[in-house]
Amino acid sequence: MSGDVHAAVAARLQSADGRYTSARRRLVEVLAAAGQPLTVGDICRDSGLALSSVYRNLGVLEEAGIVHRLAGHDEFARFELAEELVGHHHHLACSSCGAMTDVRLPPDVEAELDRALSRLARKERFAIETHRLDVVGRCRTCASTGG
Amino acid sequence: MSGDVHAAVAARLQSADGRYTSARRRLVEVLAAAGQPLTVGDICRDSGLALSSVYRNLGVLEEAGIVHRLAGHDEFARFELAEELVGHHHHLACSSCGAMTDVRLPPDVEAELDRALSRLARKERFAIETHRLDVVGRCRTCASTGG
DNA sequence: CAACTTATCGAGAGTGAGTCTCATTCTGCA
DNA sequence: TGCAGAATGAGACTCACTCTCGATAAGTTG
Ligand SMILES: [Mn+2]
Ligand SMILES: [Mn+2]
Ligand SMILES: [Zn+2]
Ligand SMILES: [Zn+2]
């Protein structure tokens, strides 16, 4: 949506010798508009692109650090804009329908968690890159409908 | 391993009207001996069971709350004993080779995290069941060999 | 604008982790 | 020992995902 995101994407793609084609722009628009991880089915429907093009370009965008692939609780992979573009955050993951919603921790909690994980990684000689925190449970709709 | 685990497994299986057969016992033994999430390839090799039996019985054990299926950083699913049996913990996930290692947070950090997540879930009307925290990075071997 | 070069597109074939089928074997019980 | 129901495992099958390759679009040079 905002030109900031598109400019950042264009820059990242160029340094990875790729073009910011209309197909790739549409993928970024769809992901930005959703504001939460989407399945390939969602992305195909919203973008109107061919299945193979969706997969190929998601791969290109992931390679360039623009898109992030994550595994849900169902059989489908989900895609979202990378944290470098939308900021660090976590997810509410519904164990019933598989939906994922973006959520952010209070900065002080996030900071203490980072410190604890750094200590832990140093002790295990593990070169930490990031962390992923999913809150697993029933989403609002599934909890009320008992689905 | 310890009879505690086998007793608990037998009890859980019985209340889910399943038998604790030799194949299922071997799966539990393999998972307990590993002490970290294993791929189906690992489990087949270590147990000597047929592929279909491994998948079917892992499904039975998962249904009974004895085994937990989790998605790694690669294309392979991984299996471990459920937290009800081995206690709550998290994982160091290698983004290079996909290996996962068990790790535990200091109790005070874990407690504050729980409180923060509860507040967050209440605000979003999300019925929280548990949380999953993966530390992503390079494992000791991959970091040193540059793999 | 025409001719050329290079990257992208997309329909369709192919791959393989994971699931299902079913004839055989095992298990519990009388 | 005989029977009923459950478990086993080789192999067929599914389907999310990847790869192929001719068509097409986008730069580039003169
Ligand atoms: Mn997200
Ligand atoms: Mn574990
Ligand atoms: Zn839901
Ligand atoms: Zn590794």
A7 Cβ contact list (under 8 Å, min separation 6): none
* CA closest to A122 among chain B residues: B140
* Residue A74: DSSP 8-state: S
Distance between terminal CA atoms of chain B?
34
pLDDT at A60: 96
Residues of B with CB under 8 A from a CB of A: 71, 92, 95, 101, 103, 105-106, 109, 112-113, 116-117, 120-121, 124-140, 143
Tokens found for residue B28: 């539990």
Looking at residue B90, its pLDDT comes to 97
- Give B12 CA → C13 C1' in Å: 46
Q: What are the extents of the domains in chain A?
A: 1-84, 88-147
Per-residue pLDDT, A2: 63
pLDDT digits (tens, 9 = 90+) for B13-32: 988 878 999 999 999 999 99
∠ CA A84-A139-B80, rounded to 5°: 75
The hierarchical CATH code for the domain A88-147 is 3.30.1490.190
Which bases of chain C come closer than 7 Å to a protein CB? Answer: 7-13, 17-21, 27-28
Distance of residue B136 Cα from the nearest chain A Cα, in angstroms: 5
For B63, the 3-state DSSP assignment is helix
Q: Which 8-state DSSP code applies to residue B98?
A: -
Q: Is the pLDDT at B53 greater than 90, yes or no?
A: yes
**Beta strand pairing call for A127-138 and A90-94:** parallel
- The 3-state DSSP class for residue A98 equals coil
- Full pLDDT tens readout for chain A, 147 residues: 566 899 999 999 988 878 999 999 999 999 999 999 999 999 999 999 999 999 999 999 999 999 999 998 899 999 999 999 999 999 999 998 889 999 999 999 999 999 999 999 999 999 999 999 999 999 999 998 876
Residues of A in contact with B128 (CB under 8 A): 135-137
On whether the CB atoms of residues B67 and B31 are closer than 8 A, the answer is: yes
Q: Give the number of beta-carbon pairs within 8 Å between A and B.
A: 97
Give domain A1-84's CATH number out of 1.10.1420.10, 1.10.10.10, 3.20.20.70, 3.40.50.740: 1.10.10.10
Residue (of A104, A105, A106, A81) closest to A2 by Cα position: A81
Neighbours of A16 (CB within 10 A): 13
pLDDT at residue B147 tops 80: no
Contacts of A129 in chain B (CB under 8 A): 95, 136-138
pLDDT at A125: 96
Task: Look up the pTM and report it.
Answer: 0.92
Nearest to B127 among A101, A105, A143 (CB): A143
- Report d(CA A89, CA A94) in Å as an integer: 17
- What's the pLDDT tens digit per position in B66-106? 999 999 889 999 999 999 999 999 999 999 888 999 999 99
d(CA B110, CA B34): 25
Chain B: give the shortest CA distance to residue A47, in Å.
26
Q: Which residues of A touch B101 (CB under 8 A)?
A: 124, 126
Give the Cα separation of A41 and B107 in Å (integer): 41
The residue among B87, B110, B100 whose CA lies nearest residue B134 is B100
Ligand nearest to the CA of B86: 2
* Strands (DSSP E) found in B2-126: 38-39, 67-71, 77-81, 90-94, 100-103
pLDDT in tens, B114-145: 999 999 999 999 999 999 999 999 999 999 88
